[in-house]
Structure 1
Amino acid sequence: MHHAEFGIGAYTPSEAGKLVGTSATNIRRWLFGYSYTHHGPKTAQAPLWQPQYGVDQDEPLLGFRDLIEARFVARLRAVGIGMPTIRLCLTTAAQIADDPHPFSSAHFRTDGKRLFLERMGETGKRDVIDLKTLQHAFPKVIEASFLDLEFDDDKATRWFPLARSREVVADPERSFGAPIVEDGGVPTSRIAQVFLAEGRSVDRVAQLFEIAKSAVRAALTFETQIGELKAA
């Protein structure tokens, strides 16, 4: 069993799946590998990357960077990019960037169909590489794909999971990475619980936690978005 560590974040496969929009089974397969049999001997698929907490099949945990890697994989799968391509590109990116979590680095880019890695070339100019073909691409046409991340030292450190809002944040330095409202630091799950207990009163929740009503509404929108709160 792994114990959560401050600054790394801690998510079960079920929690991570809800946050990134996939199943806990997929999360387990991506991070811990799996075996299958198809017209012959059993075949083992290795994990896509080494989890921050290591491998513990009984009670596995993901760190924050694992969560962001899984988020990228889930989004890439949603637009039809196959697992062999994702696996190949992730391995290539990890080698080029010298980072075991390249999809949660500031260097990763995608145009929705292809995967790229940006680095500084020998001339000091931006060098963008197509991770599947290893061909160079044009930097001007490739923008950062996910603008809801904050980076420090080229690594993702904070995620704002609510579209077009910065009121909900996942930050491994706060509440072990659980989604919280930025102003006040109250977990969104706790806000949803109290909201139901207080007769669905936004005013009452804002008063109890001493936070803005907009923060309460943002938390409730997020909890509804991930399926933890049903609309009235």
Structure 2
Amino acid sequence: MTYENQATFGLGTGLYTVPDISSILNLPQPKVRRWLKEYWNNQFAGHHQQPFSSGSGSELVTNFYTLIEFFAFYQLRQEGVTTQKIIKAHNVLSETFETQYPFAKSNIFTDGRHVLFTGKVGEIIKADETLQITIKEVFEPFCKKIDFNKNNLAERFFPLGKDHSIVIDPKRQFGQPVIGTTNILSESVFNLFRGGEPVEVIQRLYDLTQAQVKDAISYHQHAA
């Protein structure tokens, strides 16, 4: 089977180190490193025979889709779905959607016990080998922070939510957090604030709104 979106690392896909993922998703670095090794580079990569990261040590990097999968994985674990069921679902859904990154698709759901996805005719299909139809009240814990393209694949992530201006877009600034539709790195704004510059001065310097400056400050304070 040929999978879409094979692992690539570079322009347009974002470049994320373990500290980057930890900061963006507010997860402990040891957990991120362990998950990347145990699940993506061992379990999932073995199933796909494709790598999910490049480099090693401090130079280990992955791409935007893996970042989103980390977020989805974390949300599923928070909802009480076991690691074994998540791995099983990842493998089944990869084959169903013909993608290496099924958890970066918009039609992933959970009922707290099974990982579910929307079938072609609109039913909710349970992600196991039997693919039995399971009609349940479900919710999308991670879709609220993600924009998806016409192929239902994640293309932008809003770590503070869509009502705030911080955006993770792999097509801008190598996927590092930027402000709104600009290419201004949120870290640049935060560094000025941390250096003692008033919000009003930063606003004028970058031609930003007060809300945008405060979002950048809030995001990096939260990630610290």
Aligned to 1:7, the other structure's residue is in SS state coil
1:129 corresponds to which residue? 125
Structure 1 gaps of 5+ residues are 35-44, 228-232
Relative to structure 1, the CA distance from residue 113 to residue 155 in structure 2 (aligned partners, 3 Å threshold; closer, same or farther) is same
Give 1:24 shift: 2.6
1:13 corresponds to which residue? 18
User: Is contact 1:51–1:66 with CA below 8 Å preserved after alignment?
Assistant: no
Relative to structure 1, the CA distance from residue 89 to residue 4 in structure 2 (aligned partners, 3 Å threshold; closer, same or farther) is closer
Of 162, 165, 168, the match for 2:166: 168
For 2:113 and 2:24, how far apart are their aligned partners in 1?
23
- TM-score w.r.t. structure 2 length? 0.83
Residue 192 (1) aligns with residue 190 (2): yes
2:82 corresponds to which residue? 82
For 1:4 and 1:193, how far apart are their aligned partners in 2?
27
Relative to structure 1, the CA distance from residue 203 to residue 51 in structure 2 (aligned partners, 3 Å threshold; closer, same or farther) is farther
Relative to structure 1, the CA distance from residue 32 to residue 66 in structure 2 (aligned partners, 3 Å threshold; closer, same or farther) is same
When you count helix as a share of all residues, which structure comes out higher?
2
For 2:110 and 2:38, how far apart are their aligned partners in 1?
25
> Percent of aligned positions with the same letter in both sequences?
23
User: Is contact 2:85–2:114 with CA below 8 Å preserved after alignment?
Assistant: no
Counterparts of residues 1-232 of structure 1 (less than 5 Å): 5-33=10-38, 46-49=42-45, 50-52=50-52, 54-58=53-57, 59-120=59-120, 125-132=121-128, 134-138=131-135, 141-145=137-141, 146-152=143-149, 153-163=151-161, 165-197=163-195, 199-227=196-224
When you count strand as a share of all residues, which structure comes out higher?
1
Aligned to 1:46, the other structure's residue is in SS state helix
For 1:207 and 1:196, how far apart are their aligned partners in 2?
17
Q: Which amino acid is the alignment partner of residue 226 of structure 1? A: A
Q: Would you identify which runs of 4 or more consecutive aligned residues in structure 1 move more than 4 Å?
A: 49-52
Give 1:9 shift: 0.5
- Structure number with greater CO (CA < 8 Å, separation at least 6) is 2
- Aligned-residue Cα RMSD (Å) equals 2.3
Give 1:80 shift: 3.2
Structure 2 gaps of 5+ residues are 1-7
For 1:201 and 1:62, how far apart are their aligned partners in 2?
36
For 1:189 and 1:113, how far apart are their aligned partners in 2?
38
For 2:43 and 2:180, how far apart are their aligned partners in 1?
33
Q: Which amino acid is the alignment partner of residue 144 of structure 1? A: E
Residues 69-104 of structure 1 deviation map (CA, whole Å, 9 limit, x = unaligned):
011112222333322121111111111111110000
User: Is contact 1:117–1:131 with CA below 8 Å preserved after alignment?
Assistant: yes
Relative to structure 1, the CA distance from residue 109 to residue 193 in structure 2 (aligned partners, 3 Å threshold; closer, same or farther) is same
